[in-house]
Every structure is written in C-alpha cells, then in structure tokens.
Amino acid sequence: MSTERILIIGSNGQIGLELAESLRVNYGSENVICSDVRKMDHQIEPFEILDILDKNRLLEIVNKYKITQVYLLAALLSATAEKNPKFAWDLNMNGLFHVLDLAKEGIIKKIYWPSSIAVFGPTTPRLLTPQYTVMEPNTIYGISKQAGERYCEYYHQKYGVDVRSIRYPGLIGWKSAPGGGTTDYAVHIYHEALKNKTYECFLSAETALPMMYMPDAIRATIELMQSPAEKVKIRSSYNLAGISFNPEQIAASIRKHIPAFTITYKPDFRQAIADSWPQSINDEHASKDWGWKLEYDLDAMTQVMLDNLA
Ligand code: VAH
C-alpha cells in the first residue's frame, strides 16, 4: 500500500485526466485526490472543488487527505493567456507560490510543476534548443513559465523544496481535449481527419514545433517524480524533446491511413506565438540524469490516435 497521498490540481485538464489515470495505477485510487475549479459529469472520486488561488481551501484539502505530493497543472496556456494576460499571470504565478510555500513550510514533501518549451523566445536557437541558452519569451504564458522556473530553483536551493519540472512540448492525446494552446492543432487534425477528411490549420504548413504523444509525457513525468532526488540535478525544468514536425508532415502521416485527407492553411494570431518557439529540442540532460527515453514517433502516434478516435 502506498504511503504517498497525491493531490492533482487541475485534474480535469488535458494532462490532468491522463495523469490521474496513471497515478491511480501507480499509487492506488484512494491515494490520488483530484481537484479542479468545477466538477465534470461522471467525475471520478475522490474529487474536491479547488480554485488554486484560494490558499485556505488548498490547505483544507491538504490537511483533510494528509497530502504528501502535489501535481500543480492549473494554468492558462499560451493562446488563452494572450487574451487574459493579467489573470494568466495571477493564476500561473500565485498558484505556484501557494504550492511552493506548502513545501517550504514542510506541509507537503514533493511538487511537480509543468513548464513548457514556451519559456524559449525568438532569440533562442531554434534547432535542437539546448537546456541552457538565451531565453527571452514574448508571451505571457512563456514569461510566467520562465519566472516559475526561477522560483522553483530558488525554493529548492534556499529552502530545500523538492520541486521537479519538465518543459513539455506540445502534447497530443485522444483521451482529453487540448486546453487553449498553440499546439492544439495537432490534436484537432486527427478528429477532423476522421470526421471530415479535411482540416483547416491555424498554423502555416512549414511551422515545425516540438510535440509528444501524451503517454510518453505522462511516463516522463512519473519517471522524473520517482527518480532518487540526487539524480534530479536540474531544479528549474528539464528540456524534453519528443517529436519535431510541421503541419504538412503530420498531414502526410495521416494520409498513410486516410489517403483522401486534405489540409488547408489559415494562420491566425497563434502563428506569431509558434514562430517564437523552438522547432526541435535537445534533451540530453533528461536522458543523462534520469534515463529519459522517448517511445512514440510520429507514425506510431498517428496509428494509435486514429485507432482510438475512430
Ligand atoms: C501551449 N500546449 O500550446 C501548450 C504548450 C508547448 C506548448 O505549452 O500553450
């Protein structure tokens, strides 16, 4: 029986739904408490309504369930954050401070907090972007993730907080809907291919971005959290590469299964966000420090996405 009691904050989001499922398998359902700002239909219990900006409510839940670890997933993603910059900063930063302070006060033992390749900006080298490089993000989401990384590393170095983080690429899965990001096209395209055999893409054909099949991202998250502390040498956030492709390439992968599939292009405001991000990532530190190894390439992901969505 697990002695770990885990709270997922933002459990009903794109990552949260799949992470909750995997954590329940690893730790037992009764040891994984889900929470979000609103309850879903057919909500899996144990579940608590939680707005992460309500610190007292967070403490109430942590005490009620004797939580030892927190996975903080609640945030506004890149596209949504550009439409609500003030609220995005408040949610993404104060939500993190509330959780970091619980660990600083010794109330919880370990934190997972997701960063993103959005921490990189237009002056960052875009091919095989290294772990340590120029970072001048020009989106509110990216700025909040860069500031969050600095706080995580500071709380680790100054207060010994065991906080761990991954710079996720765009995540693609079939079990949950994407949450207002710039990479969401790579999920929508599979749904549209099956439904209408055509997709109008909001990014241009040659816009390459780092992506990853969701089960790889969930496995990386749990492998990082289960690594011995001494192996986790980076306490800002780890680069994770995944698969680098552009809309034309994912369309070609889909056509191997749906030959009649066509894609058209109508770039919108998200094109400028994508143009500020890397095209591919170097994740040698994750491989070296805690043995990270990707499993799904583009064609393997397309096969499993289409099989499960059909
Ligand atoms: C977004 N899916 O598009 C998120 C992610 C790398 C992209 O952070 O905002």
* Ligand 1 centroid from CA 171, angstroms: 7
State in Å, rounded, how far the first CA of the chain is from the last one.
Answer: 37
Mean pLDDT of 68-77: 97
Domain check: are 146 and 59 in the same one? Answer: yes
Domain check: are 27 and 162 in the same one? Answer: yes
Which pLDDT score, from 0 to 100, does residue 101 have? 98
| Averaged pLDDT of the chain | 97
Mean pLDDT of 5-14: 97
288: in domain? no
Q: What is the pLDDT of residues 179-190, one digit of tens each?
A: 899 999 999 999
Which pLDDT score, from 0 to 100, does residue 1 have? 57
Domain check: are 145 and 95 in the same one? Answer: yes
Q: What is the pLDDT of residues 210-255, one digit of tens each?
A: 999 999 999 999 999 999 999 999 999 999 999 999 999 999 999 9
286: in domain? no
Which pLDDT score, from 0 to 100, does residue 179 have? 87
Residues 6+ apart with CB under 8 A from 80: 88, 179, 180, 181
Which pLDDT score, from 0 to 100, does residue 288 have? 98
Total domains in the chain come to: 2
Q: Over 80: is that where the pLDDT of 137 sits?
A: yes
Tokens of 35: 């929470």
Domain check: are 185 and 228 in the same one? Answer: no
Domain check: are 201 and 85 in the same one? Answer: no
Q: Over 80: is that where the pLDDT of 133 sits?
A: yes
Domain check: are 156 and 265 in the same one? Answer: no
Q: What is the pLDDT of residues 34-55, one digit of tens each?
A: 999 999 998 889 999 999 999 9
Domain check: are 109 and 219 in the same one? Answer: yes
Domain check: are 104 and 186 in the same one? Answer: no
Which pLDDT score, from 0 to 100, does residue 42 have? 87
Give the atom of ligand 1 at the shortest distance from the alpha carbon of 181: 3
Residue 114 belongs to what domain range?
Answer: 6-170+214-239
Q: Per mean pLDDT, which range of 35-44, 140-149, 192-201 is the poorest?
A: 35-44
Domain check: are 133 and 229 in the same one? Answer: yes
Domain check: are 101 and 226 in the same one? Answer: yes
Q: Is 71 a catalytic residue?
A: no
Task: Give the residues surrounding ligand 1 with Cβ less than 6 Å away.
Answer: 77-78, 116-118, 141, 168-170, 181-183
Q: Whose CA is nearest to atom 4 of ligand 1?
A: 181
Which string of b and e fits 250-283 if b means at least 16 CB within 10 Å? bbbbbeebbeebebebeeeebbebbbbbbbbbbb
Domain check: are 72 and 203 in the same one? Answer: no
Mean pLDDT of 14-33: 97
285: in domain? no
Mutate to test the pocket of ligand 1, among 82, 84, 116 (most ligand atoms within 8 A of CB): 116
287: in domain? no
Tokens of 65: 């369930």
Domain check: are 232 and 97 in the same one? Answer: yes
Q: Over 90: is that where the pLDDT of 96 sits?
A: yes
Q: Whose CA is nearest to atom 7 of ligand 1?
A: 170
Q: What gap in Å lies between CA 299 and CA 174, rounded to an integer?
A: 15
- Asked whether the CA dihedral 246, 249, 255, 256 is positive or negative, the reply is negative
